[in-house]
Chains A and B, each alone.
Chain A
């Protein structure tokens, strides 16, 4: 078995809600609420869920772009933080480690500085980490751009001169500049047109092979996740409801939420008529999640105990973890 590159244990990230006359804390938005998982070296780990379920927060908290509320993260056997035991990696070590973890953002229009030219954007990390001087860094940036399907003379241009797909390529080139081991891809293709989506996905796949990268791939699009990822975690209101290999998840989804999510995705085939599970209502607010199982307000198979008892996230078969009371019923 491959080595775990990332180990996440009981990660929590709460955002405080301020209110009242003196802006005191009146509650928490539980964006990420107690999740644990590993990502193996060379794996593409998919994170899927609806908007507001905490996918992006998870991605950002793991690489400590956001300050975690609780839990621990290990990267390459080095502890980045362990809040319970009050361990945090020293600042300078963390900065050095940042070379190994990069992120590609969702919105290619917002994630590139409009006042920097492309060469500077791509080479900034190289200069910052003192890997190369400015001149060498620009040469390296040219190489990276060509690798990502853009021509080298683009280094002097500015982001506004590019289309969405090209900008995303620049974002990818920037992420690759420091030869990272791990890249968080936060909905990298959601803002792009269908034909451009396929181009960017293909590029990311090639780069993964070439540089032996590990991806955490965040998306709300199940068909993209299915095509791209090795293992998938389905998130709902800050918690994992199901985690397993791609194959298993699509062949035999066990959690009712996964089942309805799969059935809700429109299939590009007009000849298939299928039974749809239509969920009632909307996702509850993460500031005030339902008691018991968080999904019980919309679950088509809700039972009495779901309303009070939080189901355990446990392995029902090797490599297939689900949090649902129905699993206990089946076992009995």
Chain B
């Protein structure tokens, strides 16, 4: 079996807001293996981005806090180490690709400057060697005329090219873990196809463990090996990608799949999940999905079900599958 690079246990992240405490991530556990792609799906506000920021220890301060849990990177708990030590890991061993290539790059520095920064910091490459490595990286992500682009500014590049630069930057120090937060959401379909293809190739070539965060089930189907479905800060289903799509268990996952028109047979009507995500200030007492669920039972309003393994590798948080329910 492949080596586990990142293991997260019972992660809880919350935010202090004027309206009260918001538990954005509420007891999330998962692990990422070497060379694998773990997909995290969910709607906006379900805590998928906060999970990834927690791993990087980039939760916005002073309002955001990681209150509990462990983030084990190669056996070391990232929540217990000093900030200076974390800085050596961040960008070096764990790298991140952000959603908005327009805002994630600094407009006043050249591309070479921005990629070179982490090379200088983590690998001590300076001067000519630094530039050479930058050009090499731009070549890996298939940017045309890399020797020119290295001296250009972000505004001179298109969205797809900027996202490639982001990937080049993330890969610059051969990270063990790559966190991609909605890497293709801001891009057009044809450009999305290019970037996904590139990420797939690089993943196969470099064997980097990848956490892919997205709301697009199509992207998940193409990219991921394992999938986590999140709802209201909790994992509701976890399984290999084929199981998620073929032997779906949780009513929420099922609802998500059913609300995608490309999964329908001809003449089949689109079905939808009623209502909307509960307000984070006012979470239901029992299962967070109960108010929207078609298969709601009395117990769902009372108690939160546990995440249990019903088949090897397939975990579900639902009373339909747990003893004591039904």
Chain B residues, Cβ within 8 Å of A193? 43-44, 215, 277
Q: Which of A50, A227, A268 has the most CB of B within 10 A?
A: A268
Chain B residues, Cβ within 8 Å of A269? 221, 245, 263
Is there an interface contact between A268 and B218, defined as CB atoms closer than 8 Å?
Answer: yes
Chain A residues, Cβ within 8 Å of B246? 271
**B259 an interface residue at 8 Å Cβ cutoff?**
yes
**A151 an interface residue at 8 Å Cβ cutoff?**
no
Is there an interface contact between A267 and B188, defined as CB atoms closer than 8 Å?
Answer: no
Is there an interface contact between B262 and A50, defined as CB atoms closer than 8 Å?
Answer: no
Contact mask A257-269 → B, CB, 8 Å, 1/0? Answer: 0001101111111
Is there an interface contact between B262 and A196, defined as CB atoms closer than 8 Å?
Answer: no
Is there an interface contact between B217 and A194, defined as CB atoms closer than 8 Å?
Answer: yes
Chain B residues, Cβ within 8 Å of A60? none
**A163 an interface residue at 8 Å Cβ cutoff?**
yes
A279–B224 CA distance with the chains assembled, in angstroms: 23
Is there an interface contact between A198 and B272, defined as CB atoms closer than 8 Å?
Answer: yes
A198–B196 CA distance with the chains assembled, in angstroms: 25
Is there an interface contact between A279 and B194, defined as CB atoms closer than 8 Å?
Answer: yes
Closest to A282 in B: B158
Is there an interface contact between B193 and A264, defined as CB atoms closer than 8 Å?
Answer: yes
Closest to B193 in A: A264
Is there an interface contact between B218 and A224, defined as CB atoms closer than 8 Å?
Answer: no
Q: Which of B43, B190, B194 contacts A194 (CB 8 A)?
A: B43
Is there an interface contact between A268 and B262, defined as CB atoms closer than 8 Å?
Answer: yes
Q: Which of A193, A223, A266 has the most CB of B within 10 A?
A: A266
Which A residues from 218 to 241 make CB contacts under 8 A with B? 220, 222-224, 226-228
Is there an interface contact between B260 and A278, defined as CB atoms closer than 8 Å?
Answer: no
A163-B276, A270-B222 in contact; A227/B270 too (CB < 8 A)?
yes
B113 shortest CB reach to chain A, Å: 23
A172–B56 CA distance with the chains assembled, in angstroms: 41
Which B residues from 269 to 297 make CB contacts under 8 A with A? 269-274, 276-277
B contact face: mostly helix, strand, loop, or mixed: helix
Q: Which of B245, B258, B272 contacts A270 (CB 8 A)?
A: B245
Size range of the chain B interface in the assembly: 35 or more
Chain B residues, Cβ within 8 Å of A266? 192-193, 196, 216, 218-219, 221-222
A195-B259, A267-B222 in contact; A202/B270 too (CB < 8 A)?
yes
Chain B residues, Cβ within 8 Å of A260? 190
**B151 an interface residue at 8 Å Cβ cutoff?**
no
Chain A residues, Cβ within 8 Å of B190? 50, 260-261, 264, 279
**A51 an interface residue at 8 Å Cβ cutoff?**
yes
A218 shortest CB reach to chain B, Å: 15
Is there an interface contact between B272 and A195, defined as CB atoms closer than 8 Å?
Answer: yes
Q: Which of A201, A202, A222, A228 contacts B189 (CB 8 A)?
A: A222
Chain B residues, Cβ within 8 Å of A267? 218, 221-222, 262
Is there an interface contact between B222 and A194, defined as CB atoms closer than 8 Å?
Answer: no
A79–B216 CA distance with the chains assembled, in angstroms: 43
A272–B156 CA distance with the chains assembled, in angstroms: 37
Chain A residues, Cβ within 8 Å of B272? 195, 198-199, 201-202
Q: Which of B224, B257, B263, B276 has the most CB of A within 10 A?
A: B276
Contact mask A269-283 → B, CB, 8 Å, 1/0? Answer: 111000010110111
Q: Which B positions have Cβ atoms within 8 angstroms of A? A: 43-44, 144, 158, 160-161, 188-194, 196-197, 215-222, 224, 241-242, 244-246, 255-264, 269-274, 276-277
Given A194-B256, A271-B245, A282-B161, 4 other A-B residues pairs in contact with their CB atoms under 8 A? A202-B270, A270-B221, A270-B245, A283-B188
Q: Which A positions have Cβ atoms within 8 angstroms of B? A: 50-51, 163, 165-166, 193-199, 201-202, 205, 220, 222-224, 226-228, 260-261, 263-271, 276, 278-279, 281-283
Q: Could you pull out 18 A-B pairs where Cβ atoms are within 8 angstroms?
A: A50-B191, A193-B215, A194-B215, A194-B217, A197-B259, A198-B270, A202-B272, A220-B189, A223-B218, A224-B261, A261-B190, A265-B262, A266-B192, A267-B221, A269-B221, A270-B241, A278-B194, A279-B194
